[in-house]
Chain A
Amino acid sequence: MTIPRRARVVLVLAIPALLAGCAAAPRLGAKPWDRGELAKRCMRLDGYPLEAGIDDHIYFSKEASSGGAGFAGGGCGCN
């Protein structure tokens, strides 16, 4: 499996960032009692799952890409 140039660039940038992130991870974050803001619906990554599902389905049926946030899946004759 060959990795295209642009993906290599993304990987080359992402991997050190990820390693640096992991190294810094113990210093990142918030105390459990300090995470009230993150628990709000507007701050959750899956705060609006139905809207996200519809958006994914639109773009899945109009473009050659799908998934990323979740499973790309199939399940539809529209693509």
Chain B
Amino acid sequence: MQLSGGNRVRLALAAAAGALLGTPAARGGSWKLDSQVLYYSETDRVTAIEPVISARWERGDGQTLGLKLTVDSLTGASASGAMPSTRPQTYTTPSGHGIYTVGAGKTPLDPSFLDTRWALDAAWETPLGQLWRATFGAHASIEYDYDSASLSAALARDFNQRNTTLSIGVSAGYDQIHPVGGVPRPLASMSPEVPDDQAPLNRLGDAETKSVGDLLLGLTQVIDRRSLLQINYSLGMSDGYLTDPYKLVSIVEGASGADSGEPVDQLYESRPDRRTKQSLYLAYKREVRSQDVLDAVYRYLWDDWQVRSQTLELRYRRDLGRPGYLQPHVRYYTQSAADFYARFLEAGAPLPSHASADYRLGELTDWTFGLKYGKPLAHEREWNLKLELYRQSVSAPRAPPGAFAGLELFPSVEAVMVQVGCDF
């Protein structure tokens, strides 16, 4: 049998995945290999490259085994949370062994942002009798300063001639954070630069942990032969170290001071050590005409940090026949600020118990516009290319004092995202 180049690659990858699992590929099952790569680039900030490869083994009896490897490589600069100033500012790097300067009027960005994350996911799905299905999953990831592991289990049952599916899932995870330079003492002053043989000041220890638990209830309903609806409720609880060890909150001189509005101190941020969030999620899919599909998703999320968010996503897959398909996409996201979010703290005022200037906890309005082109191949394989533009706008909760007039305190973030997907 003459194999084409593509087939040889496919067989070799399937054999490699089979060897990895210690399972012979040829035991009545079939392998499917998918890959996806993301290139993500923010203007003047973070750049990320994230390749993902997954192998899925399907046995004739409905059992499937999936493995997924993700590598996530980040470089660039990230907003530290500190305030800009009308003068140049000097900051200590997280290790405490270096400094960087930020120009007058510039948003302080920590330039030492560099990490690679390796993540492995495994999932085993098996039917239990005629109407039940169970899925068990495991996840592990490592990066320079963060390790994570979790297990999950889900059970689904079909009703009504398999037109209705109810599901319940639980997941438990455990993460360990070992920040560069140690764990900063919450709301303590940023350490000054120290010699290489000394630990930075205001540290609590080397590492912290957090545990995460999730519950997911789902209902999927086939409406008719061309449409279906999914409704999910989820409850997620996090307990432990939820602070970002690299973020700062500036103390600025109040309106009555001679140097009103200028930063006088930089503190390490502090977040509560518990968070409970819940969400309602609705997804609707409808085949408008042959292979033209409308996809609408809405999510409402609320938590005990007083974050409320709404997400609306719309996609329309327009079939072009032999050339493939085009899929325009729009996503709108809006979020209220966490109750301890503060762009800055004022000198002389009593310190709150928690404070974070991380804009991701502030009031946000985000838009994503995208276009995907896909070329379906035989056996449900496909290659596709997706280009998206993402813009985050942060709203100002209150007017800053004095010197900030004219400085950009809430810069928007713009990113370009490109994804390429290919099934072997």
A interface residues (Cβ-Cβ under 8 A, vs B): 1, 3-4, 6-7, 10-11, 14, 18, 21, 25-26, 28-32, 34-38, 40-43, 45, 48-51, 53-54, 57-59, 62-79
A5 CB → nearest B CB, Å: 9
In the bound complex, CA of A51 to CA of B7 (Å)? 24
Which of B285, B304, B307 touches A65 (beta carbons < 8 Å)? B307
Interface size class of B (residues with CB under 8 A): 35 or more
In the bound complex, CA of A54 to CA of B368 (Å)? 14
B217 CB → nearest A CB, Å: 11
A75 and B281 contacting across the interface, CB-CB below 8 Å? no
Which of A6, A7, A32, A38 touches B228 (beta carbons < 8 Å)? A38
Chain B hits for A62, CB < 8 A: 360, 366, 390, 392, 413
> Taking A45-B230, A68-B232 as contacts, is the C-beta distance between A73 and B150 under 8 angstroms?
yes
> Taking A6-B308, A77-B115 as contacts, is the C-beta distance between A37 and B225 under 8 angstroms?
yes
B interface residues (Cβ-Cβ under 8 A, vs A): 34-36, 38, 40, 50, 52, 54, 68, 70, 72, 74, 115, 117, 119, 139, 141, 143, 145-146, 148, 150, 152, 159-164, 169, 171, 173, 175, 177, 210, 212, 214, 216, 219-226, 228-232, 234, 236, 238, 244, 276-283, 285, 287, 291, 293, 297, 299-305, 307-311, 317, 325, 333, 335, 338, 360-361, 364, 366, 376, 380, 382, 384, 386, 390, 392, 413, 417, 419, 421
In the bound complex, CA of A34 to CA of B227 (Å)? 12
In the bound complex, CA of A50 to CA of B116 (Å)? 19
A4 and B287 contacting across the interface, CB-CB below 8 Å? no
Which of A7, A32, A36, A66 touches B302 (beta carbons < 8 Å)? A7
> Taking A65-B309, A71-B169 as contacts, is the C-beta distance between A3 and B302 under 8 angstroms?
yes
A41 and B382 contacting across the interface, CB-CB below 8 Å? yes
Chain B hits for A21, CB < 8 A: 221, 229
Name 9 A/B residue pairs within 8 A (Cβ), A-sorted: A30-B224, A50-B36, A54-B36, A67-B277, A68-B280, A71-B171, A72-B234, A75-B141, A76-B141
B226 and A18 contacting across the interface, CB-CB below 8 Å? no
Which of B34, B74, B171, B305 touches A50 (beta carbons < 8 Å)? B34
Chain A hits for B115, CB < 8 A: 77
A64 and B338 contacting across the interface, CB-CB below 8 Å? yes
In the bound complex, CA of A37 to CA of B159 (Å)? 20
In the bound complex, CA of A68 to CA of B311 (Å)? 10
In the bound complex, CA of A4 to CA of B303 (Å)? 9
B173 and A30 contacting across the interface, CB-CB below 8 Å? no
A27 CB → nearest B CB, Å: 10
> Taking A31-B161, A54-B50 as contacts, is the C-beta distance between A64 and B175 under 8 angstroms?
no
A30 CB → nearest B CB, Å: 4
A77 and B163 contacting across the interface, CB-CB below 8 Å? no
Chain A hits for B160, CB < 8 A: 25-26, 28-29
A72 and B236 contacting across the interface, CB-CB below 8 Å? yes
B64 CB → nearest A CB, Å: 12
A30 and B163 contacting across the interface, CB-CB below 8 Å? yes
A2 CB → nearest B CB, Å: 8
| 6 pairs of A and B residues whose beta carbons are closest in the complex | A29-B163, A77-B146, A68-B281, A50-B36, A75-B148, A30-B225
> Taking A29-B161, A50-B421 as contacts, is the C-beta distance between A72 and B141 under 8 angstroms?
no
B293 and A43 contacting across the interface, CB-CB below 8 Å? yes
In the bound complex, CA of A42 to CA of B230 (Å)? 16
A54 CB → nearest B CB, Å: 5
In the bound complex, CA of A7 to CA of B145 (Å)? 36
A45 and B283 contacting across the interface, CB-CB below 8 Å? yes
Known pairs A29-B221, A74-B173 / 6 extra A-B pairs, C-beta < 8 Å: A18-B231, A41-B376, A63-B366, A66-B236, A71-B234, A73-B212
A75 and B214 contacting across the interface, CB-CB below 8 Å? no
